[in-house]
């Protein structure tokens, strides 16, 4: 059986974090608040458990790990050490800007392609990638905009020769195995994860963990189009072993499923994949020098190990926590069970936003995408939100539609030219995710989220919170020429032709 190396928690995660804190104390840095440590035991290997396209269909899981059991497991109180960040810890809000978008105002942010290449340059022992699919190279018809994807692919191919282990957990079945087969031929371990067989969904996660020390999480697929033809947003984190090892545990869940032969979930998730952070016990770090409370969330509940915050619950808590504004940028927003029969109404997020705007006077702004694959019902639901602006309610809700302009030639590129971002920023926190906002993505399909809270943190000259960066990014798009207001009476809110 192939195994996945996992450092012992006491000898790596906790000790390294404590070493970081000791270093800060010795240099006279503020050490912050300290919690009690209750470390979960870890085995030295992460093995598969033994009880044996952007669209997900199927029925709800009947697997041994039911949502009820998962929720009960997550409610167990787990206490972890407060982590003190390495002074080297760096966090970058990164994005992909499609060719032709913002041609006269280049982004000051690092591109996702450059962030991936940078992480691969730093890799010394391991790279773990969870992905929906792999198509980093365009067709042989000389697609010039795939150069960034090819550069990433070539770096991945060279990892084995550098003594770096590459492990890939990818959704099954793959529509194309060209990239993964070639990477496997150069030494990569590839496991296909047939999530549809156990939950009815897919692996929609986009997650990198490098040396259990660095990570990337965001909307970009392992696709050349995600680097040059699709608008994406993500987060790159360097020299943060505690958070990276927590992300590695989520990867470990997928890896275990990919190694199982009976197409079922284990009766329980072992301690070695239990969460190291949660909404109740966030890691206390310094992101670019600014104190932050940080945790990872995951979906669906069946794949959430002990202590892991549920992704939907996380989104709802972020909305409920907002006091002044909620800015959301997602490709799809649909309060329905988009891929299951019979169709179900799913008002969880929609109701939370209505409550925020109409009962707490929070400003709500939704930026959604328009492209040839947009569900028509989405715009009708969004118009129903806009109705709440009318007297006597006067709820502060506004919706805009973001269209990536395309030439006739660009329109020929399949599954491209769209704002694919999935993030939310409020006056208090920022949430970066990998899921579209409709029911199946939270109940059946695998995804991850990251919450960063720097509220009330001291921000020194030259520093900037991640929340303020995400707010700036959102407002740039919201006020741009590519965003147009949705009106209540519009009958063709999303024209599907060339723009």
CB neighbours of 464 closer than 8 A, spacing ≥ 6? 288, 290
Catalytic residue selected from 14, 20, 146, 204? 204
Give the active site residue among 92, 196, 206, 213.
Answer: 206
- Residue with the bigger pLDDT between 113 and 67: it is 113
Mean pLDDT, range 423-428, rounded to an integer: 98
**pLDDT for 163-187, tens place per residue?**
999 999 999 999 999 999 999 999 9
pLDDT digits (tens, 9 = 90+) for 219-230: 999 999 999 999
Q: What pLDDT is recorded for position 2?
A: 42
Bridge partners, 447 (sequence order): 299
pLDDT of residue 88: 82
Give 3-state DSSP helix, strand, coil % of the chain, rounded to 5.
30, 25, 45
pLDDT in tens, 282-331: 999 999 999 999 999 999 999 999 999 999 999 999 999 999 999 999 99
Reply yes or no on whether 499 is catalytic. Answer: no
| Segment among 115-119, 143-147, 224-228, 280-284 with least mean pLDDT | 143-147
CB 102 within 8 A of CB 480: yes
Residue 75 pLDDT more than 60?
Answer: no
In this prediction, residue 83 has a pLDDT band, given cuts at 50, 70 and 90, of low
Which is higher by pLDDT, 143 or 451? 451
Is residue 5 predicted with pLDDT exceeding 80?
A: no
120 Cβ contact list (under 8 Å, min separation 6): 127, 152, 155, 156, 159, 210
Q: Out of 14, 146, 179, 211, pick the active-site residue.
A: 211
State yes or no: is 206 an active-site residue.
yes
Identified catalytic residue from 194, 321, 396, 427: 427
Annotated catalytic residue 427: yes
- In contact, 71 and 310? CB cutoff 8 Å: yes
What is d(CA 484, CA 184) in angstroms, rounded to the nearest whole number? 45
More confident residue, 84 or 159: 159
CB 362 within 8 A of CB 322: yes
| CB-CB contact of 253 with 268 (8 Å) | no
Quote the pLDDT of residue 317: 98
- Which domains can be identified in the chain, with CATH numbers? 30-38+63-485 (3.30.870.10)
Tell me whether residue 422 is one of the annotated catalytic residues.
Answer: yes
What confidence tier does 155 reach under pLDDT thresholds 50, 70, 90?
Answer: very high
Query: Strand 309-310 vs strand 333-334: parallel, antiparallel, or unpaired?
Result: unpaired
Q: Which of 239, 240, 247 is nearest to 273 (CA)?
A: 247
Per-residue pLDDT tens digits for 358-385: 999 999 999 999 999 999 999 999 999 9
Number of neighbours of residue 408 by Cβ within 10 angstroms: 8
State the catalytic residue, choosing from 231, 400, 420, 477: 420
Query: Distances from the Cα of 299 to the Cαs of 3, 127, 237, 268, 448, in angstroms?
Result: 24, 22, 21, 16, 6
Whether the Cβ atoms of residue 265 and residue 306 lie closer than 8 Å to each other:
no
Mean pLDDT of 192-207: 96
More confident residue, 108 or 218: 218
Please state the pTM of the whole predicted model: 0.86
Per-residue pLDDT at 179: 98
Q: ω into residue 275 within 30 of 0, thus cis? A: no
d(CA 57, CA 283): 35
Is 398 an active-site residue? Answer: no
């Amino acid at each position: 059986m192939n195994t996945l190396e996992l450092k012992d928690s006491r000898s790596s995660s906790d000790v390294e974090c404590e070493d970081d804190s000791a270093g800060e104390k010795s240099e006279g840095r503020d050490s912050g608040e300290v919690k009690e440590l209750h470390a979960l035991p870890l085995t030295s290997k992460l093995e598969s458990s033994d009880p044996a396209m952007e669209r997900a269909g199927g029925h709800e899981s009947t697997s041994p790990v039911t949502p009820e059991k998962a929720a009960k497991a997550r409610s167990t109180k787990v206490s972890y050490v407060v982590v003190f960040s390495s002074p080297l810890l760096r966090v970058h809000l990164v994005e992909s800007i499609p060719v032709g978008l913002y041609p006269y105002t280049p982004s000051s942010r690092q591109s996702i392609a450059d962030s991936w290449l940078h992480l691969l340059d730093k890799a010394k022992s391991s790279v773990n990638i969870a992905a929906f699919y792999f198509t980093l190279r365009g067709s042989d018809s000389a697609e010039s905009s795939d150069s960034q994807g090819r550069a990433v692919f070539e770096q991945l191919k060279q990892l084995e020769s550098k003594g770096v282990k590459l492990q890939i957990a990818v959704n099954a079945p793959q529509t194309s195995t060209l990239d993964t087969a070639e990477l496997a031929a150069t030494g990569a371990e590839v496991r296909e994860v047939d999530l549809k067989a156990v939950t009815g969904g897919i692996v929609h996660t986009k997650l990198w963990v490098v040396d259990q020390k660095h990570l990337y999480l965001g909307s970009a697929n392992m696709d050349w189009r995600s680097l040059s033809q699709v608008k994406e947003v993500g987060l790159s984190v360097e020299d943060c072993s505690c958070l990276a090892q927590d992300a590695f545990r989520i990867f470990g869940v997928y890896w275990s499923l990919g190694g199982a032969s009976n197409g079922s979930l284990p009766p329980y998730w072992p301690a070695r994949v239990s969460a190291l952070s949660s909404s109740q016990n966030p890691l206390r770090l310094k992101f670019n020098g600014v104190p932050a409370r940080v945790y990872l969330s995951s979906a669906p509940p069946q794949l959430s190990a002990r202590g892991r915050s549920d992704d939907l619950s996380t989104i709802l808590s972020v909305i409920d926590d907002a006091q002044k504004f909620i800015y959301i940028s997602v490709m799809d927003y649909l309060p329905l069970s988009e891929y299951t029969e019979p169709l179900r109404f799913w008002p969880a997020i929609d109701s939370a936003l209505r409550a925020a705007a109409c009962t707490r006077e929070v400003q709500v702004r939704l930026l959604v995408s328009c492209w040839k694959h947009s569900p028509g019902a989405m715009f009708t639901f969004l118009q129903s939100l806009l109705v709440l602006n009318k007297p006597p309610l006067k709820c502060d809700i506004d919706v805009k539609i973001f269209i990536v302009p395309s030439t006739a030639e660009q329109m020929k590129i399949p599954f491209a030219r769209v704002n694919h971002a999935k993030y939310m920023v409020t006056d208090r926190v920022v949430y970066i995710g990998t899921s579209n906002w409709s029911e199946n993505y939270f109940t059946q399909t695998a995804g991850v989220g990251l919450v960063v809270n720097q509220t009330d943190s001291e921000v020194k000259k030259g520093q900037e919170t991640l929340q303020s960066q995400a707010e700036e990014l959102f407002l740039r798009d919201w006020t741009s020429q590519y965003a147009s207001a949705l009106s209540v009476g519009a009958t063709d809110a999303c024209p599907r032709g060339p723009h």
